[in-house]
Amino acid sequence: MEDNMKVLELLEEIEDLVDEAPGLPLTGKIMLDAEEVFQLVREIRLALPDDIQQAKWIRDERDRILAEAKSEYERIIKEAKKQADYLVETDDITLRATKLGEQIRQDAETHAKVMKMRTYDYVDKMLFDMQGKMDELHMKYFGEMYTNLEKTFESINGVLAENREEMKRLAYKTQNEAEEQQ
């Protein structure tokens, strides 16, 4: 968060440089100290990796949540199988065990699906927010003069968009799998 503030402060410094730069008569152009501008751009680049680390953290968090949901699903299924094996002593008990096992399986699948959907929503929101922040920074502070930095933002946005599409694809797949099983 502090690096984000640092980036914004550095960008404000660039704006101040442009606002205070002396103009060249009859050209509509201004003169800037190139070294001063490059120094500010270097400082911005140093602050940006934290945002990239935050995106990695979001991806890792998504993977962790999905792993937990899968583990919980497998634990519930294993427990359901244990209960079903224990209850298979008579036809009546077998029938009830089968019904209970199916209900537990459905509950586990529903729970796993809900966890996946919540994870997708959470990750999508984080990616959307990050994408919005990147767009805001890009639109507000960078122009033709910073082509290399613009390419970096486009690359990050591309990765974020791909991640969001992947989340939507996984959500769609999860939804279709549940509907096919019913």
Instruction: Kindly list the domain boundaries of the chain, sorted by start residue.
Output: 1-47, 48-181
pLDDT, residue 51, reads 62
pLDDT tens profile 145-162 = 567 777 878 888 999 999
Q: Residue 140: its pLDDT value, please?
A: 66
Q: Tens digit of pLDDT for each residue in 55-65?
A: 777 788 888 88
pLDDT band for 123, please (50, 70, 90 cuts): confident
Nearest to 48 by CA among 134, 175, 129: 134
Q: What is the pLDDT of residue 161?
A: 92
Q: Is the pLDDT of residue 129 over 80?
A: yes
What is the Cα–Cα distance from 85 to 118, expressed in whole angstroms?
33
| Residue that the structure tokens 């959307």 belong to | 128
- Kindly state the percentage of the chain with pLDDT values over 70: 82
pLDDT in tens, 14-65: 888 888 888 888 888 888 788 888 888 888 777 766 666 677 777 888 888 8
Q: Which of the four pLDDT bands, split at 50, 70 and 90, describes residue 164?
A: very high
